[in-house]
Amino acid sequence: MDWDAWHDEYDTPGTRLARRLVVVREQLTIALDSAPPGPIEILSMCAGQGRDVIGVLPEHPRRADVTALLVELDPRNVTKAKEAAADAGLDNVEIREGDAGSTDNYVDLAPAQIVLACGIFGNVLPETADKAIGFFPGLCKPGADLIWTGGRVGLFELVRSSLAKNEFEQQFVSDPRETQFGVGRHTYRGEAQPLGRGTTMFTFDKPH
Ligand SMILES: C[S@@+](CC[C@H](N)C(=O)[O-])C[C@H]1O[C@@H](n2cnc3c(N)ncnc32)[C@H](O)[C@@H]1O
């Protein structure tokens, strides 16, 4: 997969990814609107070009409260995300080139108030998705919002049931009549969990 070219679809209005981005940005706005007073940490795993976070923060009234960490492996996407953040004057957004599956990349910022897992579940096997979600409590503050995407078929129900098993309460799932993508927002209702170093939460192991 060419993960730089994958983003081109965002630039054509009405496409699957352009429609999905609208929903993800809406959910991120709601998560920011409802965050408690004080600092807001945002973690984005497999952040790509950061079109969700960098698309929402510049106009959001809580912008100054945010410290964001976007983790992305493809250096071309890292460069584009850094350019977009700089153009928007977002000096509180770090784009880190690295393995988003490794807990090592989050220990300096976690637990976060908002976690994004967008574009991950379509690229992993079911057992990997279930295992990865088991680590998400360590990324999240109690009360944190997790925003995620997944195809409306396939892993969608597995992700929902795995999130429920790990004490994430569903706040939103996208309209089932939109069959080309799914978006969810869940709130972590469990206790604070430690996030250890040196753990691989997931790798993109689904054959394309
Ligand atoms: C489907 S795209 C989603 C990008 C972004 N989250 C979005 O929704 O627009 C998946 C992204 O994950 C990145 N990626 C794949 N494996 C990764 C890994 N182990 N660590 C960090 N990023 C990874 C790819 O380079 C790609 O940009």
Which pLDDT belongs to residue 15? 98
Pairing of strands 182-188, 40-45: unpaired
Q: In 3D, which of 98, 190, 107 has the Cα closest to residue 144? A: 190
pLDDT along the chain (208 residues), means of 10: 98 98 98 98 98 98 98 98 98 98 97 98 97 98 98 90 98 94 98 96 93
Q: Is the CB of 99 under 6 A from ligand 1?
A: yes
Pairing of strands 66-72, 93-97: parallel
- How far apart, in whole angstroms, are the C-alpha atoms of residue 72 and residue 86? 17
Q: Is the CB of 73 under 6 A from ligand 1?
A: yes
Among 15, 46, 51, 116, residue to substitute to test ligand 1 (most atoms within 8 Å of Cβ): 46
Which pLDDT belongs to residue 25? 98
Cα of 156 from ligand 1 centre, angstroms: 18
Q: In 3D, which of 145, 187, 146, 189 has the Cα closest to residue 170? A: 187
The domain ranges of the chain are 5-188
Is the bond leading into 111 cis (omega within 30 degrees of zero)? yes
Q: Is the CB of 107 under 6 A from ligand 1?
A: no
Q: Could you report the per-residue pLDDT of 13-22, keeping only the tens digit for each?
A: 999 999 999 9
Q: Is the CB of 18 under 6 A from ligand 1?
A: no
Q: With contact defined as beta carbons under 8 Å apart, do 130 and 106 qualify?
A: no
Which pLDDT belongs to residue 153? 81
Which pLDDT belongs to residue 186? 98
Cα of 37 from ligand 1 centre, angstroms: 30
Residue that has been written with the tokens 């679809």 in this structure: 9
Tokens describing residue 200: 């691989």
Q: Is the CB of 50 under 6 A from ligand 1?
A: no
Strand partners, 187: 145, 169
Helices (H), 109-174: 126-135, 156-165
Q: In 3D, which of 12, 52, 20, 15 has the Cα closest to residue 174? A: 20
Among 42, 53, 70, 72, residue to substitute to test ligand 1 (most atoms within 8 Å of Cβ): 72
Q: Is the CB of 10 under 6 A from ligand 1?
A: no
CATH of domain 5-188: 3.40.50.150
Nearest CA to ligand 1 atom 12: 46
Which pLDDT belongs to residue 208? 81
